[in-house]
Amino acid sequence: MNYIRKSMDELNRLSVDEYKNISTFPLIILLDNVRSMFNVGAVFRTADAFAVKKIILCGITPKPPHREIHKTALGAEDSVELMYEKSAEEAVRKLKAKNYKMVAVEQAHGSILLPDFEIKKDEKYVLVFGHEVNGVSDEVLQLSDICVEIPQSGTKHSFNISVSAGIVLWQCYYK
């Protein structure tokens, strides 16, 4: 087979205005004290690819506009709706009051493996990703309805937060 890369026209990319008018995937991503602007940008880019409804940035998580966020987001910070909350715990409480299921992505006792996690069509979900070293805060972890763990091998037993977001979103989107 002689593979030829698709042109930009063939990819049928939406404009930012078109993106804002499509039916989004009914998920919210909450970043709990994610410190790296590059990780934040990468999560925006991945969220755009899966048409995620919104990203909520909490605590020390950097906010657009910023050159380093844009470097990895490539403009997705303009298409995906964003919100900032000083406290991740408060943001979670507000979302739970609106009947969102809180899904912490974390290695924790009692977690379920990602392949066993299924999105129910009649439920609203928030995927919570935490700090690059410390993970999802204890306060948010205790407020979570579900804890999902990505099965891993190797010596590090961790993924970069932006990689974790990509893996989890892909699983939710295609399962």
Q: What's the mean pLDDT when you consider all of the chain?
A: 96
Q: What is the pLDDT of residue 160?
A: 97
Domain extent listing, the chain: 22-174
pLDDT tens for each residue of 99-154 = 999 999 999 999 999 999 999 989 999 999 999 999 999 999 999 999 999 999 99
Asked if pLDDT for residue 175 goes beyond 90, the answer is no
Give the model confidence (pLDDT) of 146-172 as tens digits.
999 999 999 998 999 999 999 999 999
Give the right CATH number for 22-174 from 3.90.79.10, 3.40.1280.10, 3.40.640.10, 3.30.70.260. 3.40.1280.10
DSSP the chain: ----PPPTTTTTPPPHHHHHTSPPEEEEEEEES---HHHHHHHHHHHHHTTEEEEEEETT---SS-HHHHHHHTTHHHHSEEEEES-HHHHHHHHHHTTEEEEEE---TT-EEGGG----TT-EEEEEEEBTTTBS-HHHHHH-SEEEE----TTT----HHHHHHHHHHHHHH-
24, pLDDT greater than 90 = no
Q: Which band of pLDDT confidence, cut at 50, 70 and 90, is reported for residue 30?
A: very high
For 24-48, what is the mean pLDDT?
A: 96
Q: What six digits make up the tokens of 160? A: 């970069």
Q: Model-level pTM greater than 0.85?
A: yes
pLDDT at residue 50 in the model = 95
Name the residue among 46, 62, 53, 61 with its Cα closest to residue 137.
61
Per-residue confidence band for 25, with pLDDT thresholds at 50, 70 and 90 = confident
The predicted-structure confidence for 57-93, as pLDDT tens digits, reads as follows 999 999 999 999 999 999 999 999 999 999 999 999 9
**Using CA atoms, how far apart are residues 73 and 121, in angstroms rounded to an integer?**
28
